[in-house]
Amino acid sequence: DIDAIAKAAAGEGDLFVGGRWLPATDGRTFPVFDPATTEPIREVSAASAEDARDALRVAQDGFQRWREVAPRRRSEVLHAAFAAMHEHAPALARLITLENGKAYRDALAEVSYAAEFFRWFAEEAVRIGSGFADAPGGGYRHVVRKQPVGVAAFVTPWNFPAAMATRKIAPALAAGCSVALKPAPETPLTALAIVGLLAEAGLPAGVCNVLPTDRAAEVGGVWLGDERVRKFSFTGSTATGRVLLRQAADNVVNVTMELGGNAPFIVCADADVDAAVRGAMDAKMRGGGEVCIAANRFYVHADVAGEFTAKLGEAMAAVPIGPGLADGVGLGPMINQAAVDKIAGLVADAVARGATVVAQGPRPEGPGWFHPATVLAGVPDDAEIMHTEVFGPVAPITTFTDEADLLARANDSVHGLAAYVYSGDLGRALRLADRLETGMAGINRGLISDPAAPFGGVKQSGLGREGGREGIDAFLETKYLAVDWP
Ligand code: ADP
């Protein structure tokens, strides 16, 4: 199975550095848990600060070699990694569900989405643009080149164990950069399996290194304090992003930050309500709601609020809940007990402030970090849930009548990642989307992530874009050559 692929090199540990599987220098390990049972799955090597430094030396060597590899060859390796992920999709999806908890069908969709980053950036690797111009004053020429920035260090979260890794690794490798990645301690196994597949796909040793650890601050501190790191890309909470941004300032490290969201989901009076409910199910329930672009708060026009609330409540409560690998399950457990407690606290606060639980699904008997799908109506704007990333299967609904008032409420957030607008009038939907302070918006669509499109936020949701034509730019430096040309 895929775990065997990850360990194909028959090493004694789980740090993948320089093409070999190594234990931590001090031998330390940490447990990874199955959220469906709360039982440990296995112990994984925990990289130390010393391991983090070693990985940079290896990655620096890897960079010197990889940058010389022809773009066409880099592209072929990424195409092979894309094919390998599809070939092993069921095993990869099982691994995602095992360590993250999400429903198997969501895990399979994630594998496909994650693999697509390899294909998209394989296609971009051979189209890295350069420019050429006559100097306006005459006498010489401008040549503008794009060069790989160098060693890229990544820190990723647990909610998409595969896609958050490939979204960073693929453009870095396409650009000619080398990589040191620290996956989340909750979900390191998928990233290890993927780097195993990359090695099989022909990626030279040392170009992509993966260091699981439960000593995140130590590893992050080493990487951001080391001049060899020329690019730092982080996906996670705004709170941690802020800490890392401060650390990045010392060496003026080029950063990409994909941070928290608080997406408004807007349903206008002229919307197709059934389509809006289907979109809301996608935007709310994918990955159990543990998604940074998940619909976080619902603004529904008063004329359709009753119908929308009833239909969404029925649909959410009907989603089969249980262990992600069980047949037919659509909602798996949350990542840990703290997540369940936080979500329950947000629901309790909303109810204390006057909201009503209008629908709630079951919670399975037995162990597991489950939270039932829940729909809240009449949620006041000052409820914590309207200002906090829920990261769970809870939909708080409020109503609106006036467009200007709606926009003010929707934009009343330090976050600005995604928004969703449902309206039968495309002009109205586009007008609202233009005025929403977010980096992305779904128009009559609940699914927006696409490796071929630029993903990212405004305000405190982040800096930079991943995916799309923009995604590779994060790993390229512009060099201008003034060429005397008599
Ligand atoms: P969450 O609360 O969802 O785990 P975090 O932003 O804390 O979100 O975690 C995202 C990633 O950031 C994880 O890989 C985690 O290990 C890592 N991380 C957390 N704190 C630090 C830190 N001080 N330095 C470097 N990485 C960190």
Q: Is the ipTM of this complex over 0.90?
A: yes
Please give the distance, rounded to the nearest whole angstrom, from the Cα atom of residue 157 to the centre of ligand 1: 7
Q: Is the CB of 161 under 6 A from ligand 1?
A: no
Q: Is the CB of 100 under 6 A from ligand 1?
A: no
Average pLDDT of every residue of the chain:
96
Residue of 32, 155, 292, 343 best suited for mutating to test ligand 1, as the one with most atoms within 8 Å of CB: 155
Confidence at residue 389, expressed as pLDDT on a 0 to 100 scale: 97
Structure tokens at 133: 């111009």
Confidence at residue 486, expressed as pLDDT on a 0 to 100 scale: 79
Crossing angle of the two packed helices 188-200 and 89-100, in degrees rounded to 10: 160
Q: Which amino acid residue places its CA nearest to atom 24 of ligand 1?
A: 217
Please give the distance, rounded to the nearest whole angstrom, from the Cα atom of residue 183 to the centre of ligand 1: 9
Residue 3 has pLDDT above 70, yes or no: no
Please give the distance, rounded to the nearest whole angstrom, from the Cα atom of residue 240 to the centre of ligand 1: 6
Residue pLDDT, tens place only, 406-461: 999 999 999 999 999 999 999 999 999 999 999 999 999 999 999 999 999 999 99
Please give the distance, rounded to the nearest whole angstrom, from the Cα atom of residue 212 to the centre of ligand 1: 12
Q: Integer distance in angstroms from the first to the last C-alpha of the chain?
A: 63
Confidence at residue 130, expressed as pLDDT on a 0 to 100 scale: 83
Q: Is the CB of 240 under 6 A from ligand 1?
A: yes
Residue 141 has pLDDT above 50, yes or no: yes
Tokens 């970090």 sit on residue:
369
Confidence at residue 1, expressed as pLDDT on a 0 to 100 scale: 57
Are the beta carbons of 456 and 158 closer than 8 angstroms?
Answer: no
- Beta carbons within 10 angstroms of residue 328's beta carbon: 10
Are the beta carbons of 176 and 70 closer than 8 angstroms?
Answer: no
Distance, CA of 232 to CA of 228 (rounded, Å): 11
Residue pLDDT, tens place only, 242-254: 999 999 999 999 9
Mean pLDDT of 346-356: 98
- Nearest Cα to Cα of residue 418 among 435, 440, 433: 440
Please give the distance, rounded to the nearest whole angstrom, from the Cα atom of residue 447 to the centre of ligand 1: 26
Segments of 259-350 assigned E as strands: 263-267, 295-301
Mean pLDDT of 360-364: 97
Q: Which amino acid residue places its CA nearest to atom 14 of ligand 1?
A: 184
Residue pLDDT, tens place only, 159-203: 999 999 999 999 999 999 999 999 999 999 999 999 999 999 999
Q: Which amino acid residue places its CA nearest to atom 22 of ligand 1?
A: 217
Mean pLDDT of 3-18: 72
Tokens 């999806």 sit on residue:
93
Residue 4 has pLDDT above 70, yes or no: no
Classify the C-alpha dihedral 5-27-99-292 as positive or negative.
Answer: negative
Residue 11 has pLDDT above 70, yes or no: no
Confidence at residue 112, expressed as pLDDT on a 0 to 100 scale: 98
Q: Is the CB of 188 under 6 A from ligand 1?
A: no
Distance, CA of 350 to CA of 396 (rounded, Å): 8
Mean pLDDT of 106-112: 98
Confidence at residue 136, expressed as pLDDT on a 0 to 100 scale: 94
Confidence at residue 7, expressed as pLDDT on a 0 to 100 scale: 60
Query: Closest ligand 1 atom, CA of 244?
Result: 24
Residue 225 has pLDDT above 80, yes or no: yes
Crossing angle of the two packed helices 302-317 and 273-285, in degrees rounded to 10: 50
Indicate the SS3 state at residue 181.
strand
Confidence at residue 129, expressed as pLDDT on a 0 to 100 scale: 82
- Just list the catalytic residues: 258
Residue 9 has pLDDT above 50, yes or no: no
Q: Is the CB of 185 under 6 A from ligand 1?
A: yes
Mean pLDDT of 342-365: 98
